[in-house]
């Protein structure tokens, strides 16, 4: 599987808000600015067949209207499925009402986009031979918040979404060859993991590769200086093959 980092930053970071493209077709989260960023990185928005939303914060789903406009302007009739927490579709309609009143009805008739709101995904086939499990994580007052494990044959990539250190993170790391984990802050809090949590995970799982993302600028510098051997701190646009 090819994993491309569209964004690796937290809301106020220099690098774009965190989102990831798998095999050019599956997008994990679609934050503010990600549609333009995907294009700037040389990828084709219209290749995206599946979008997985981890939770309903703007830096994880706010570009859905812009994705819909992209399909509309390009007259793209191919289906895109959006797997998302309950209530997402309503929130997207509300977002349209505020930022592009009257456009939602026009767009939804002309493009092929399907909102699949779920409580749990177990071995759900996303594309040919690519499956997903959802895992509920703990992200402050934002409920539900999901992590995902994406699987293809023997290969698997875990995604924490935004989460504090909790049992679900242990589960994601243990089920995945490589895990993409929230490392927003220096010290973990009720909503996000910190360098201290990621360092601990890396020590406990020396056989696994851990990728830190959703990072504040200062956190990035401090974490890099620690030179943790099984920790990757990617920049926007970087690609890793798994
Ligand atoms: Zn969040």
Q: Ligand 1 centroid to 35 CA: how many Å?
A: 19
SS3 31: coil
20: left (phi over 0), alpha (psi -120 to 50) or beta: beta
Q: Ligand 1 centroid to 55 CA: how many Å?
A: 7
List, as ranges, residues with CB under 5 A of the ion ligand 1: 57, 162
225: its two tokens: 């200086």
Choose which CATH entry (3.60.15.10, 3.40.309.10, 3.30.70.890, 3.40.50.300) describes domain 2-241. 3.60.15.10
Question: Strand 113-118's sheet: what is its strand order?
Answer: 113-118, 80-85, 50-52, 26-28, 19-22, 2-7, 239-241
**7 and 29 in contact (C-beta within 8 Å)?**
no
Q: Ligand 1 centroid to 237 CA: how many Å?
A: 21
In the chain, what are the domain boundaries? 2-241
Q: Which residue has the tokens 């020396």?
A: 206
Per-residue b or e along 229-240, where b marks 16 or more CB atoms closer than 10 Å to that residue's CB: eebebbebbeeb
Q: Does the N-terminal peptide bond of residue 211 adopt cis geometry, omega within 30 degrees of 0? A: no
91: its two tokens: 């929130």
Q: Ligand 1 centroid to 110 CA: how many Å?
A: 31
- Kindly report, residue by residue over 53-84, the tens digit of the pLDDT: 999 999 999 999 999 999 999 999 999 999 99
pTM above 0.85, yes or no: yes
22: its two tokens: 């798998």
> From the CB of residue 87, how many other CB atoms can be counted at a distance below 10 Å?
12
- Kindly report, residue by residue over 79-123, the tens digit of the pLDDT: 999 999 999 999 999 999 999 999 999 999 999 999 999 999 999
pLDDT in the model for residue 37? 98
Q: Ligand 1 centroid to 23 CA: how many Å?
A: 25
CA 82 vs CA 38, 88, 114, 208: distances in Å: 17, 9, 6, 29
Q: Ligand 1 centroid to 141 CA: how many Å?
A: 10
Q: What are the pLDDT tens digits along the chain (242 aa)?
A: 999 999 999 999 999 999 999 999 999 999 999 999 999 999 999 999 999 999 999 999 999 999 999 999 999 999 999 999 999 999 999 999 999 999 999 999 999 999 999 999 999 999 999 999 999 999 999 999 999 999 999 999 999 999 999 999 999 999 999 999 999 999 999 999 999 999 999 999 999 999 999 999 999 999 999 999 999 999 999 999 99
Q: Ligand 1 centroid to 147 CA: how many Å?
A: 12
Q: Ligand 1 centroid to 11 CA: how many Å?
A: 9
């Amino acid at each position: 599987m090819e994993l491309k980092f569209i964004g690796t930053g937290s809301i106020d970071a220099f690098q774009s808000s965190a989102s990831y493209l798998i095999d050019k077709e599956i997008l994990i989260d679609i934050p503010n600015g990600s549609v333009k960023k995907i294009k700037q990185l040389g990828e084709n928005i219209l290749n995206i067949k599946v979008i997985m939303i981890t939770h309903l914060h703007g830096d994880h789903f706010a570009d859905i209207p812009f994705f819909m406009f992209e399909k509309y302007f390009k007259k793209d009739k191919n289906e895109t499925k959006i797997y998302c927490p309950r209530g997402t579709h309503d929130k997207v309609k509300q977002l349209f009402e505020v930022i592009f009143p009257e456009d939602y009805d026009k767009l939804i008739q002309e493009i092929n986009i399907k909102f699949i709101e779920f409580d749990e995904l177990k071995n759900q086939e996303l594309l040919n031979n690519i499956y997903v499990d959802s895992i509920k994580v703990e992200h402050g007052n934002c409920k539900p918040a999901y992590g995902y494990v994406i699987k293809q044959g023997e290969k698997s990539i875990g995604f924490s979404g935004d989460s504090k250190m909790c049992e679900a993170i242990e589960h994601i790391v243990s089920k995945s060859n490589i895990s993409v984990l929230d490392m927003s802050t220096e010290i973990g809090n009720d909503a996000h993991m910190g360098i201290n949590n990621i360092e601990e995970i890396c020590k406990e799982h020396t056989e696994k590769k851990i990728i830190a993302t959703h990072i504040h600028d200062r956190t990035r510098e401090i974490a890099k200086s620690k030179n943790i051997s099984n920790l990757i701190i990617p920049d926007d646009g970087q690609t890793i093959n798994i």
